[in-house]
Amino acid sequence: MNAQPKINPLDQLTFDNRFVSELPADQETRNYPRQVLGACYSHVLPTKVTKPVTVAHAKEVAALVGLSESDCQTDDFSQVFAGNRLAVGMESFAMCYGGHQFGHWAGQLGDGRAINLGDVINRQGQRWALQLKGAGLTPYSRMADGLAVLRSSVREFLCSEAMFHLGVPTTRALSLVTTGEQVVRDMFYNGNPKAEPGAVVCRVAPSFIRFGSFQIHAARGDLDVLKKLADYTINTHFPHLGKPSPDVYVTWFEEVCRTTAEMIVHWQRVGFVHGVMNTDNMSILGLTIDYGPYGWLENYDPDWTPNTTDKAERRYRFSNQPACAFWNLGQLANAIYPLVGQVESLQQALNVFTQVFGEQWQLMMCKKLGLSRFDSDQDDALFAELLAVLQMVETDMTLFFRQLAEVDLGKDTLENSNIEELIAPLTEAYYLPEQLTPEYISCLLAWLKRYNQHLIQDGIPHEIRRERMNRVNPKYVLRNYMAQIAIDKAEQGDFALIAELLELLRHPYDEQPEKAQYAAKRPDWARQRAGCSMLSCSS
């Protein structure tokens, strides 16, 4: 009897490549950087690599696309998700899009170092697009090679999953595969290039369509392609809105405004700073996308940006993220205006962002403080005073909110409390204890009294408040210094810390006492170190 051929699990996935079958393709088949006109994408094959090795994968994401743990441990998995082989049903391509970068129109951008493999339909009927980041040259690579280095790939892989488990809308990451190749990069664009280990991340999302996907066609006056893309997007990802029409385009835009506002509220909740909120980095689904020079606020500084390119202007600083999102949505409105023809209806839809963000931000702050309700007569001032107190001294945002849940409040005897004992839980959040002057302590106590009064009015027991706060204030976030240590070890061939951090970040709200060393302030050595403070778009 002849042995039956072994069935490869990756070849059993179900692909529905509607994007390439329904939208216009680039007619040029040669792969070289160029302007691509009248098309939503270009067919392109990933660049093959010499020695792909899967060094990490997210089991939850594998399950989403229909793969088991054992499937992810095969050599074929490494081959496919490094780009050496296309599984049955995959059709690889790079998307065409444009965008505003740092507020200026940049023209055509596109997937310069990302190659899409197609959309998997899982057993639940969900659509998941697979995309390789760092898989080689595309027509949109401009002066670059389309490859990615290990350090940026580790950051993308870990952050995608960290954000998901924090409850932030985000793209996901399936795998991190080293390529066995060396890639030359100038980390800070300062004339000091060096060879670094190469890697590829497989990103997963329902769609990777961006604001800039519509902008490029509108800017070129290619309204036929613009309409085809908008109709495809609504039919595929917003079918509940009905058949595309001018009114439905407005309703769709309103939904994009709403989901974008909700995403930004989550960023502000956990202290996340994206660093490069260009319109080509804004997902049409309200997902956090394109993890480059991101960071978490450590000392609470609303003017902080993690991006060296943004150091002077600080356009994408923490406090300006809501305004940037609103501006970006305005550019999307301009792009789809030819499909609608009414400024007023688009403006009304755009105003949804402001309304939703304001309402959701107030609700979010109430949750961070464990409050039952928002009281407009007192809570706007309560929140404003808290943010002012956080800025008075170098205060770790994550630790402050987490430890605030441990402060013994909600009782009438606060006036008689021992001050040192009362604020003792918060001391872990301060970087420079010498800054805790009598003036600061007085301001902190004044705020605690105001906060305590609200807790008394609400009748919230201490244990209930702590439980509420610990559900929304994480104990663990992916601090840049943690990612950098993992990168340093990975570049030496030790990938254990990547796996350890991935497991840690799966449960960011849990105590995890055996991992308590990661719930600590940024160490002094990381204050100015490259990769731990500010990063470039190459990061």
- Both 360 and 462 in a single domain? no
Closest by CA to 497, choosing from 510, 488, 509, is 488
Question: Where a domain ends, among 321, 336, 368?
Answer: 368
Q: Does residue 188 carry a pLDDT above 70?
A: no
2 within a domain of the structure (yes/no): no
Whether the pTM exceeds 0.85: the reply is yes
Average per-residue pLDDT for the chain: 95
- Both 428 and 279 in a single domain? no
**DSSP string across 64-129:** HHT--TTGGGSHHHHHHHHTS-PPTT---EEE--EEEETTEEEEE---SSEEEEEEEE-TT--EEE
Dump pLDDT digits (tens) for 274-291.
Answer: 999 999 999 999 999 999
Q: What is the pLDDT of residue 427?
A: 95
Number of folded domains in the chain? 3
Are 402 and 457 in contact, with CB atoms under 8 Å apart? Answer: no
- Both 202 and 102 in a single domain? yes
- Both 527 and 378 in a single domain? yes
Dump pLDDT digits (tens) for 378-395.
Answer: 899 999 999 999 999 999
Whole-angstrom Cα distance, residue 130 to residue 117? 5
- Both 292 and 164 in a single domain? no
51 within a domain of the structure (yes/no): yes
- Both 200 and 336 in a single domain? no
- Both 231 and 153 in a single domain? no
- Both 361 and 436 in a single domain? no
54 within a domain of the structure (yes/no): yes
Which of the pair, 45 or 192, is modelled with greater confidence? 45
Question: Where a domain ends, among 315, 334, 368?
Answer: 368
Residue with tokens 């497989």: 202
214 within a domain of the structure (yes/no): no
- Both 192 and 269 in a single domain? no
Confidence of residue 5 (pLDDT cuts 50, 70, 90): low
213 within a domain of the structure (yes/no): no
- Both 179 and 311 in a single domain? no
- Both 194 and 230 in a single domain? no
- The range of the structural domain enclosing residue 47 comes to 9-208
Q: Active-site residue numbers? A: 280
Question: Where a domain ends, among 150, 184, 208?
Answer: 208
403 within a domain of the structure (yes/no): yes
Span 66-92, average pLDDT: 97
Span 322-342, average pLDDT: 98
Q: What is the pLDDT of residue 375?
A: 87
Are 122 and 257 in contact, with CB atoms under 8 Å apart? Answer: no
Min mean pLDDT across 182-196, 239-253, 440-454 is at 182-196
Q: With the C-alpha atoms ordered 192, 195, 199, 200, is the resulting torsion angle positive or negative?
A: positive
- Phi/psi at 527 (5° precision): -60, -40
Whole-angstrom Cα distance, residue 534 to residue 256? 30
3 within a domain of the structure (yes/no): no
179 within a domain of the structure (yes/no): yes
- CB under 8 Å to 347, separation ≥6 — which residues? 333
- Both 57 and 165 in a single domain? yes
Confidence of residue 1 (pLDDT cuts 50, 70, 90): very low
